[in-house]
Structure 1
Amino acid sequence: MNYLAIDASTEAASVALSFNDKIYHRFDMCPQSHSLLLLPMVDDVLKEANVSIADLDGLIFGRGPGSFTGVRIGIGVAQGLAFAADIPVVGVSTLQAMAQQAYDHFSHRNVLSAIDARMSEAYVGLYQVDENQLMQPLLNEAVMAPDLIKAHIDDVISDDLHGAGSAWDSYQDKMASLGDIVVDEKVKFPHALAMLKLGAAEFAKGNGVDAEHAQPVYVRDTVTWKKLPGRE
């Protein structure tokens, strides 16, 4: 199946295209310039592959959490492209994408993803690889003060845990309370490449929707970090 993935949820912007078993991608650190760069990046990969949006089976977007403005820009671009080409869309978690990157590049099977949410808080997700080599959540995504994270993960997983995301740079002292977690310096921001794999799995489950139904996930209204059903 042929998919385009788009993400603008953090300081980084990225696109990735899978077409006829070949991968094309772009990544750029561009704080506050997503609206200017995202469409040209999409155009670049499409031209490189010599395809159009209408040739694709679906479009994948970073649904958040992340920058409110960035998430909206990414979804807006995804909706516009998908609507014009009449193809379905599916959203992928930015936190899950970083965990997938940590597994794909470094074979880390248990990953704590945490990105700076401003206001002295971090967006946080805990993931473990499944039998299909896809990172799956162990807890619901949440936003919280960095020094509260440890209490929420200790009874879920504590061994062989690696970290990914920008929160370790933004809140070094508070994140130190997590102990000796090895943080992957090369996985600070989500990349559309990882979203290709996760999004394809969602399409395979039949979770694609029409463009107008694409929804962001902000998690600012999350007040507790609840365990997922079946993991109580």
Structure 2
Amino acid sequence: MKNILTIETSGTTCSVALSCSGTILEKYSDELRVHGKILLPFISELLDEMSLTVSDIDIIGISIGPGSFTGLRIGFAITQGLAYAQNISVIPLSSLCAHVHSFKTTLSKDNLSSIPGKSIVVIVDAKMDHFYLGQYIMKENYSIDSMGADIIIKKDRMKSFLSKIDPDLILTDDKSRISGLDFVKTEIIEIFPRAKDLIEITENLFNTGFSVSPMNIELAYLREADAWKKSN
């Protein structure tokens, strides 16, 4: 079995998970603006707990956005440094799709069986009256398919867009932001993406032969960095 490290730093939370011989350990923090301080120590602690070194890592799965510009850059820099130095395969993952994978792990077997075929939309506040949005569907085998590219959309276009796709379920990392949109009538569930929930999809993608060179990782900002900075 492959030793897999996953990193999720796209939002307010920061998490790292390590899988070795079927055992998954995770470090997680919801403290604001500490990603840069805790990410490397988290990785070091996980390696120590598994009695591994960086050279033992076979695959790194990283959430590439969209999301917090600063958080994404921190995860990107550490992933690129580790992967380049140790020749580790990298699997880039959508941070919006990560919400769906984390949502899936919260469901009981009975509740999970009711989800396949339903339209799931992930909405994350992008600030400056914009939202990041991704549309997904869970298949009968519980794998998750994207219904199109992740997008950024203006708040005043949300009503028209959502009425066209008519989602069965909306996931978000901040329910208060979405609840303020009074036209949203679909059930809204608050969920934070977690690194431990990205182990399976990282391994599955790797097994299909998919990976990228650490020097070719591209973050999915969906908004220019300058615009993001003005909003913070």
Q: Report Cα offsets for 1:51-70 as digits up to 9, x if no partner.
A: 12221221111100001111
Q: Tell me the TM-score normalised to structure 1 length.
A: 0.85
Aligned to 1:228: none
How many pairs align? 215
Quote the residue 1:79 is aligned against.
80
**Cα distance, 1:194 vs structure 2:** 2.1
1:128-143 mapped onto 2 (5 Å cutoff): 128-143=137-152
What corresponds to 2:6 in structure 1?
A: 5
Pair 1:163 & 2:164 matched? no
User: For 1:67-106, what aligned pairs fall within 5 Å after superposition?
Assistant: 67-106=68-107
Runs (5+) with no aligned partner, structure 2? 225-232
Cα gap change, 1:91 to 1:82, in 2 (>3 Å)? same
Q: Which residue number in structure 2 is paired with residue 116 of structure 1? A: 125
Instruction: Name the residue aligned to 1:177.
Output: 183
Deviation for aligned residue 1:205:
2.1
**Following the alignment from structure 2 to structure 1, what is the Cα–Cα distance between the partners of residues 164 and 203?**
32
CA contact (8 A) 1:122 1:167 kept: no
TM-score normalised by structure 2 residue count: 0.85
Contact 1:147 1:177 in 2 (8 A): no
Deviation at 1:184, TM superposition (A): 2.3
Does structure 1 residue 22 correspond to structure 2 residue 23?
A: yes
CA RMSD across the alignment: 1.8
Question: After alignment, is 11-20 or 191-200 more displaced?
Answer: 191-200
**Partner of residue 145, structure 1:** 154
Question: Per-residue displacement from partner, 1:60-118 (whole Å, max 9, x unpaired)?
Answer: 11100001111111010111111222111111011001011112212244421111111
**Helix, strand or coil at the partner of 2:24:** strand
Q: 1:166 is matched by which residue type in structure 2?
A: D
Match of 1:225 in 2: none
1:59 aligns to what SS in structure 2?
A: strand
Note the C-alpha offset of 1:139.
2.7
Q: Cα distance, 1:191 vs. partner?
A: 1.1
> 1:178 aligns to what SS in structure 2?
coil
Number of the residue aligned with 2:53: 52
1:147 is displaced (CA, Å) by 4.8
| Aligned-partner Cα distance in 2 for 1:94–1:166 | 11
Measured in 1, the distance between the counterparts of 2:159 and 2:203 equals 32
Q: Which runs of 5+ in 1 are unaligned?
A: 222-232
Of 188, 193, 203, 1:190 maps to 193
Is the CA contact 1:113–1:125 (under 8 Å) kept in the aligned structure 2? Answer: yes
The 2-side partners of 1:83 and 1:173 are apart by 43
Q: Aligned-pair distance for 1:172?
A: 2.6
Contact 2:123 2:131 in 1 (8 A): yes
Note the C-alpha offset of 1:166.
Answer: 2.7
